[in-house]
């Protein structure tokens, strides 16, 4: 599918970006012509380059011949139109994983979130439109927080989805699609590494509320969703994985096990939901079944390529709907080696 293609991953040095790059290089979608990691952090790019060179340390000469390699690193920022135009010049496929994603950070610096999460995607579209770039597909990576958003991060991601979907009208030669998913296990800033750290320190383990539920999926499942959308999504569609959810109290109980660790309820934080939602009430009436995924059809009728009066959902798709039992939560964590008795798999180890 991607044989002979040039692929750009914006935000390619992040938790998702690194696993996405690894999977793209594996050849499961074909042998790429070139894979470009586009991000603004030179230190993370250097570390990632070293890992693929199987070297612990190296001088700056490792950067030379960068543009002759299959895996290429390019410094730039999605906020900057000129650097976006440059990196997309020969691109066939674009995965937009660049984002400001920490909820408190986005609340304290909302316009920074706007610049990365909204203006960044608009720069991608603007570059394709203004320079008539032959980009075949753009995949926008979103979050469950974009569904009925209550915080700045979710609001900006919701706008990103709408910007990409509408772009199918402005740039009809390019397919713009989105993916939306929930909490990623063991990704940077997620709760499992936090709980591990609190348990190792002797506690207490802090929970905001005993009612809280969350969707749970691995970084590999997140990439599976991206690949499924790339293969099957029509223009303007948003792919949603059908994944398990759990009570946070069960998650904590499994991690603590028999250890004498106190659990402390600290109250719900600003911008936080008790239950996460992947498909809203309004979206449920235009949501189709795609096997292991749901596909939300675009709101704009001009973009829809599928006409159906048989939609899958009759209400919102919430993390409170179908909860795993405590044994099922334990089984899931053991599957990904995330219990305290296993070796914790962090995103930096996924490249090993």
Q: Which residues are catalytic?
A: 145
Residue 343 tokens read as: 């070796």
Cα(248)–Cα(267) distance, integer angstroms: 13
DSSP label of 175: E
131 contacts 91 by C-beta, under 8 angstroms: no
Which residues contact residue 86 at a Cβ distance below 8 angstroms, ignoring those fewer than 6 apart?
74, 76
Q: What are the φ and ψ backbone dihedral angles of 261, each rounded to 5 degrees?
A: -110, 130
Q: Is the dihedral of CA 254, 256, 260, 262 positive or negative?
A: negative
Cα(219)–Cα(204) distance, integer angstroms: 27
Strands 213-217 and 245-247: antiparallel
Strands 183-184 and 213-217: parallel
DSSP for 63-129, written as a single string? GTTGGGSSEEEEE--TT-HHHHHHHTTT-SEEEE------HHHHHHSHHHHHIIIIIHHHHHHHHHH
Cα(23)–Cα(109) distance, integer angstroms: 33
Cα 58 to Cα 44, 49, 53, 280: the distances in Å are 14, 10, 10, 49
């Amino acid at each position: 599918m991607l044989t002979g293609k040039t692929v750009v991953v914006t935000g390619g040095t992040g938790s998702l970006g690194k696993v996405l790059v690894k999977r793209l290089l594996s050849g499961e979608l074909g042998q790429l012509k070139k894979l470009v990691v586009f991000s603004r952090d030179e230190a993370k790019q250097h570390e990632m380059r070293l890992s693929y060179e199987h070297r612990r340390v190296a001088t700056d000469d490792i950067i030379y011949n960068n543009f002759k390699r299959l895996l290429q690193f390019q410094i730039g920022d999605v906020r900057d139109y000129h650097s976006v135009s440059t990196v997309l010049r020969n691109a066939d496929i674009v995965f937009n994983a660049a984002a400001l994603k920490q909820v408190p950070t986005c609340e304290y610096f909302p316009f920074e979130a706007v610049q990365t999460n909204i203006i960044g995607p608009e720069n991608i579209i603007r570059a394709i439109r203004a320079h008539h770039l032959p980009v075949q597909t753009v995949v926008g990576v979103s979050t469950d927080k974009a569904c009925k958003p209550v915080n700045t991060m979710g609001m900006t991601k919701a706008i990103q989805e709408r910007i990409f979907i509408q772009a199918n009208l402005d740039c009809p030669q390019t397919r713009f699609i989105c993916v939306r998913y929930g909490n990623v296990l063991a990704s940077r800033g997620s709760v499992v590494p936090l709980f591990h750290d609190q348990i190792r320190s002797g506690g207490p383990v802090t929970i905001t509320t005993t009612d809280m539920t969350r969707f749970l999926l691995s970084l590999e499942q997140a990439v599976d969703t991206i690949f499924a959308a790339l293969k099957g999504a029509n223009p303007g569609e948003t792919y949603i994985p059908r994944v398990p959810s759990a009570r946070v109290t069960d998650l904590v109980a499994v991690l603590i096990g028999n250890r004498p660790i106190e659990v402390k309820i600290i109250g719900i934080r600003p911008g936080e939901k008790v239950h996460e939602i992947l498909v809203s009430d309004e979206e449920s009436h235009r949501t189709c079944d795609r096997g292991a995924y749901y596909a939300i059809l675009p709101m704009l009728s001009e973009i829809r390529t599928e006409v159906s009066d048989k939609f899958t959902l009759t209400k919102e798709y919430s993390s409170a709907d179908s909860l795993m039992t405590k044994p099922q939560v334990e089984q899931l964590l053991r599957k990904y080696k995330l219990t305290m008795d296993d070796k914790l798999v962090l995103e930096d180890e996924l490249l090993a």
